[in-house]
Structures are given as C-alpha cells and as structure tokens.
Amino acid sequence: MQPIENLRSNVYEDQRSTVYKVDPAHPESSTLPTLRTEELLLNMGPQHPSTHGVLKVILELEGERIVKATPVMGFLHRGVEKLAEDGTYHQFIPHTDRLDYVCAMYNNFAYCRAVEKLMNITVPERAEFLRTIVAEVQRIIGHQFWLGTQALDIGAMTVFFYTFRDREILLDWFDELCGARLTTSWYRIGGVERDFTPSLTEKLRRFLDYFPPKIDEYVVFLEKNRIWLARTKGVAVISAEDAVSFGLSGPTLRGSGVDYDLRKSEAYAAYPRCEFSVPVGKNGDTYDRYWIRVQEMQESVKIIRQCLDQMPAEGPIMADVPSVTLPPKDRVFTNLDSMIQQFKLFSQGFDAPRGEIYCGTEAHKGELGFYIVSAGGGKPYRLKIRAPSFIHMGAFDHMSRGYMIADAVTIFGTYDIVMGECDR
C-alpha cells in the first residue's frame, strides 16, 4: 500500500492523464479525434442535500473542474436587521437564536456582550463563569455537528451517528438548563437567565469524563480513511494572506496558520482565567481545518473543567443595574416593583446612550460581531450582524477554482456554513 501523503497527488495524476490535449494549430498531429469543448454552466441547489440550508451555486465548469463559482444567496433572508430596529434590546435575544440555529447559545452570548458594551455593564463573576461554560459546551456541539455532517457529505456515514449520539447528551443538558434544545435564549443582558442546579453540574462533570475518549473514537474513523484523506488534504487551500484579506475567521482562518482568536486577543468572560491553547494549522486546506476543530473540542473540555473548578459557589448571576437588567423571575411573580420593572423593560426598553459600538465574539464558526448604533431610546437605531458564514462565502469562488465539482460540497462544508446566519 502506498504512503498516505502521496495519495492526493496520485489521484490528480490519474485525472490529468484522461484529459485529451489537442494542439489547435496542428490537430492532425494528435492521434485522438478532435473534440468539441465548451464551458458548462451548472446550477447546484438551492435544493441540494448537502448545502446545509438553501444555497444555490452557479458553477462554470470545464469538464469536471470548476472555473468559476457564483454563490446565489438570500433564500433564507428574513430581514433580522430590520426587525431589530423595531423591537427593544431585550426583545431581540430570541431573534439571535434563529441566526445560527444549530448553535444558539453563542449568538445570544455575542449579542448580550455587545449590548453590555453599549450600556457599560459589568457582569458578576459567577455569571461570567456560567456563560463561559455554556459557550464552550455550545462550541463542542457546533464542532460535533460540523464533523458529523462534513463526514456525511464526503461519504463516511458512521461518524455522523457517533457525533450525534454525543451531541444528544449535551442537547438534553441544555433542555434541563433552559427548557429548550436549540432555540435557547438563556443569556440575558447583564447575566444569565438561571443558575446551574447541582444535577446539571454533576451531569456536566460526568460528560467531561465521558467525552475525551469519544473524540478519539471519531478520529479513528477518519484519520486512516483513504477517502477522507484524499478529499480533504490539499483541497480548498487558501494562503494566510488571502485568508486575512477575505476577512475569514475562526478555524477557517487558523487553518491557514494565522493565530487570531478573540478569546485570547480580547480576553472576555472567564477566558483569561483559563489555560488553553489555540490550535493553528499549516497548510490551509480542509484537513487542517478539520484537525483544528478536533483539537478545539479537547481544549473546550479543558476550559469547562477549569471553569467548574474556579467558579465561585455562590453569587449573583445578573448584574444589579435595575434600569437595564431584568429582575429575577421569582421576584417578578411576588413583588409589585419587580413586575413593573419587567413590564417596562419589555414594553419600552431601557434608555441607551447615543453612540455606536462594535463587539466581536469568537463563536465556533468565527468572529460573530454586532455593530450597534444607538440614537437614544429603547430600540437600536441600526444593528448590523457580522455573520462569519456570509463573509466566508465571499471566499468561496477563490477557494473552489480548479477543484472538482464534487469538491464544491466539501468546500462550503469546510466553512461550517449555516444559511440562517448567512442570509439573516
């Protein structure tokens, strides 16, 4: 059996040898018959099992190679930015769930952080730890989801069942935490909605012991799989300069060897108190991005464990700024003042100062940012979402040129694209 490193180049050699090369000036010099060639336009999608939503790509093909790819987006456009201008700051939190609907917690987190920056609120210590733990759980879920679907797109179906089996444990954990598996809305401006119960902590600790061996189990299916290696190594290569110029972020950027992680550079929430490393790739291909995501799952386990150990046992989970933050639910039902406060905050909102902020957060896909312009009053004047999926699609044409038509599926898979976030 040949060494794995050579597999990709051999595959290419075989394909090249089947291309008929005829010199147009001297067609008679070739023994082959003169073939009529023309470029082919192919619509891929919008309904296609591997587009992770509703995405259409117009491919210009020469044989089976992609010459140019034009993404056509917007099938899931719901005008979330326009809706944001019509509601109060608190009312927008459930809308953020529907952006990246497989990883709602991180969207809540990014949005709440942005509003907290606008309102200049400091979150209590225990709440910071809770937020970090849940965000990292969400990162594990996101990477499991990515790994399962990407392997499924390539044809390795078993990994999908294994990752979804473990994802289910965490989704049930979310269910116990906030009553929802996907559209969670657990984060609040200034804190979180409710605290961990002892049972939740216990279950999470049990999961942390259970999970690391399972990561190795996923990897066993892939790292010696010839098909996986041939279809990920050397596919969708993007250089570090191009990746930065395109504004890629998250594993897609770090796969090209750029060490840029907002958890380190902005040091928000409880991340500065945890020790973790940021895996960085070398080649900028799909395989490196896969490797980074697998490593990040290991790092997330480390972060969660450190947070659980360092977290103060008692303490408030919501900042005490009555003009902005919501009162605790038990007080709302028993105390008239709290009920009035809750009603006012949801019907009129709080009075935000005039100004504008941008706040980016490292979601598992990349930098999820919110640019909020406030003109005073209870509603955002303008809210712009910097969605990593949308920006990654900008590099799709660049990254897919020269690859095979079957690679198109794996190239937008490698961004971990979710169209709900891309089209907003």
Give residues in contact with another protein (CB under 8 A): 73-74, 77, 79, 81-83, 86, 117-118, 120, 242, 244-248, 258, 260, 265, 355-358, 360, 367, 369, 371, 373, 381-382, 384, 386, 390-391, 393-395, 398, 423-424
Q: How would DSSP label each residue in 353-403?
A: PSEEEEEEEE-SSSEEEEEEEE-SSSS-SEEEEE-HHHHHHTTHHHHHTTS
Strand extents, DSSP E, 13-116: 40-44, 56-62, 65-72
Task: Give the shortest CB-236-to-another protein separation in angstroms.
Answer: 16
Closest distance between another protein and the C-beta of residue 198, in Å? 38
Task: Write down the least CB distance from residue 378 to another protein, Å.
Answer: 16
Q: Which is nearer to another protein, 289 or 424 (CB)?
A: 424
Bridge partners of residue 187, in order along the sequence:
192
- Beta carbon of residue 423, minimum distance to another protein (angstroms, whole number): 6
Residue with tokens 């933050």: 325
Rounded-to-integer distance, Cα 417 and Cα 408, Å: 13
When the beta carbons of 13 and 259 are compared against another protein, the nearer one is: 259
* Shortest Cβ 194–another protein spacing (Å): 29
Contacts of residue 372, Cβ cutoff 8 Å, sequence gap at least 6 = 114, 115, 118, 356, 357, 358, 359, 380, 382, 383, 384
CB of 80 to another protein, least distance (A): 11
According to DSSP, residue 404 is labeled: B
Closest CA to 114 of 401, 355, 420: 355
Considering beta carbons, is residue 94 or 328 the nearer one to another protein? 94
Q: Which is nearer to another protein, 104 or 383 (CB)?
A: 383
Shortest reach from residue 350's CB to another protein, in Å: 16
Tell me if 364 sits within 8 A of 296, measured CB to CB: yes
**In terms of CB distance, is 117 or 273 closer to another protein?**
117
Between 110 and 156, whose beta carbon lies closer to another protein? 110
Cβ nearer to another protein, comparing 155 with 394: 394
How does strand 382-386 pair with strand 367-374? antiparallel
DSSP code of residue 352: P
